[in-house]
Structure 1
């Protein structure tokens, strides 16, 4: 498996910029499990003098003893007469004894575990920060995977550390351009398929062997009982949620195309008020999102009955589409058969939905580089009762728009895709419309000629995936 550190340039640059600032820095870095927080922090710290402590789910005394040993191993003055610190007050105060030749870098990974075993730690840290640490050349990073704890406890107004953080960063999945670096020898089509299946979670990407074909990886590293990805979703659900059977039912319903609240309710028969609560929990975990037309208003987004739910985590989508429904057969070793008859025939259709997300990511990069006809400030999907458009981007004034369609099929894209797009959302006289098409297999000569005349932007998969 590929263990090389890849991507995360923006996160590393953010950490370095804070590290280069004078005086105290108190940073909070958080994100869902498997997102790559620990690896990113280790990569950042590897060429710096630092203290890295990974908290465990343990009793307070054990946690303090383990932290003490890690800190005293740095040969601070207290190590001459102590083997462990008698209290957290003394242990955390001793951070000031670390070598001050360079900025003192202290990383406490999975900080919520430390607080769970001793709820007084935020108060101790707050007093220490206010009185001493903020005036020192020190950088303290608190990292955590418990999204609800970080957002609703640590960063909440009631928490002693509220308002002390000098930087807060929620780590997201890698985007397509970073994720495909894990598969440098794959074809553009296989890179796209690998991302559509695994998403941008580094831990998942590392489970695929880039020396194996896409089919071999799916069979051996997803569908085969005993491999990491086979049980990953079930383990994560049990770690993060209660009533996993209920959540399985909800996610399965969404994976089958039930995207409206009313449709999910009809499929699951879960009471709507409870269903909304369950969906909210899945949104907080980054597994599901609620989507609105890009032209929608703030009022519309506040209406619980509006919007469409979709699974944002690619691997969860794949798991509930192809693994979860066939668990019985897979438990008895039917991996190859399930791939041949239940996965392969539907894989392109599955990838086509993710291709739209890839196209949006690509347009964002083009937008940031100033390579589009105008700079958009909003981008997403658009739909009404009769039509939908894969991509709609708008400028700040609403006077310019970019409309796009994505075709993930083996035939070249022709003008029969462009003309209906132009008819779906006729712009008003005071709105300038531009058009773009994304295609897996390229474009016909007729479309290339038409696009040249009309200024239509064309993006082929080989251009996007490299």
Structure 2
């Protein structure tokens, strides 16, 4: 797998090697995000025990763990026909850690807990007894984010307070795509990002030797391609009965973002829909969004639901609805008739989220000089602003984000100037900076205002270029 943009995560894991004391680190993140590759890369030069759990029975898990451990630290204890219990296995490796630095990585830890629910309590007892005073470097890793946060990191977990560090692995940001697709223009990289998101396992399926259209046809629409049924496989792995979740996700993908709309579209009653939405949030597949200016987001009645994963959104919008037709008509016809005519609109609907990333990056790089606490969309009734940055209770930056083939003109700026009066106390806008993000540049009139410092202009075609 291409491995990019994880230098800080690798370094944080390696830094703990030098402590020469007991370390218990939790590494977690959604499936396909690159946890396994991260751990292998970080400790490739070290003597490390790396064990990946599966859905097998407890005795099978212990047998495989014993065999893995025996490869680096041979012992008759590990070679018996019936494998030792977890307490004996863990005490053995902690005993080794009393003499030297021992690295143990237990990947997909939730699967171990599923086959042996008492394992966190056993580990807690042994850690408190002898582990905390050893030189063991223990890493517990998992893809079930909600489980890791509740059962491992949560205050009710037996392991609560024992961890010495944690690492939540998020999708790669937009700017990392330059390393995946150096041959693409900034516009094509944004399009690829809107389709695939920042999951490394998805990004490596595309090649910048092919056009975006060719990649979609070859790597998504092709029934034998890895990405073709990826979403269904993920949901089957994470959920016992995914059919209702599929309905809810597809409803959101088609623009039904409020509870009542989802209920009406799916035909599922409000109570179960509420439960499905909660589970999907735990899995990091959807997010509840409120206007960025809301003071109490958790209580806001303006909340809407959006798919947080770009590829899931693409799959539910363009693959699932045409599954049967794909078998009959083939990928080329579906691409030309059902995808390409709507692709710009599809990208435009997430362009505001992408512009938030661009804004954050430009602030970090000092290209937009301001400090802020939060940034996101604002809306009220039929009025909406694509990007608003807030400091305290005060909006300090507002921008429109246009994924259009036409240059952004003065009409867009004038409308933004009108709308910002709605989000500022008393309509005072003198201290609020304005910005415009554009796929296709700006008219000369707007460019002139940009040069005078009246508006920040971000032409996405120049992102990552030398003069950006």
TM-score w.r.t. the length of structure 2 is 0.92
Separation in 2 of the partners of 1:259 and 1:68? Answer: 49
Alignment of 1:417 onto 2:417 = no
- 1:404 aligns to what? 399
Please give the root-mean-square deviation of Cα atoms over the aligned residues, in Å: 2.1
Separation in 2 of the partners of 1:195 and 1:321? Answer: 16
Q: CA deviation at 1:355?
A: 2.1
Separation in 2 of the partners of 1:156 and 1:373? Answer: 38
Separation in 2 of the partners of 1:430 and 1:187? Answer: 36
For residues 93-139 of structure 1, the C-alpha deviation after alignment (integer angstroms, 9 at most, x for no partner) is 12235478873221110111112222232222112211222222332
2:24 to 23, 26, 40: 26
- 2:94 aligns to what? 96
2:379 to 380, 383, 403: 383
SS of the counterpart of 2:59? helix
Q: CA deviation at 1:341?
A: 0.9
Separation in 1 of the partners of 2:188 and 2:98? Answer: 49
Alignment of 1:87 onto 2:85 = yes
For residues 281-330 of structure 1, the C-alpha deviation after alignment (integer angstroms, 9 at most, x for no partner) is 111111111110011121x5325x53111111101110111111111111
Separation in 2 of the partners of 1:312 and 1:148? Answer: 15
1:112-151 alignment to 2 at 5 Å? 112-151=110-149
Q: CA deviation at 1:464?
A: 2.4
SS of the counterpart of 1:401? strand
TM-score w.r.t. the length of structure 1 is 0.93
1:11-410 alignment to 2 at 5 Å? 11-76=9-74, 78=75, 82-84=78-80, 86-98=84-96, 103-298=101-296, 300-303=297-300, 305-332=301-328, 334-396=330-392, 398=394, 401-410=396-405
- 2:446 aligns to what? 447
SS of the counterpart of 1:56? coil
Separation in 2 of the partners of 1:192 and 1:106? Answer: 39
For residues 380-408 of structure 1, the C-alpha deviation after alignment (integer angstroms, 9 at most, x for no partner) is 1000113100000011352x510011111
SS of the counterpart of 1:229? coil
- Structure 2's unaligned 5+ residue stretches are none
CA contact (8 A) 2:2 2:200 kept: no
Separation in 1 of the partners of 2:454 and 2:15? Answer: 41
Q: CA deviation at 1:454?
A: 4.0
1:82–1:373 CA distance, 2 compared to 1 (3 A): closer
1:179–1:415 CA distance, 2 compared to 1 (3 A): same
SS of the counterpart of 1:62? helix
1:74–1:464 CA distance, 2 compared to 1 (3 A): same
CA contact (8 A) 2:196 2:202 kept: yes
- Structure 1's unaligned 5+ residue stretches are none
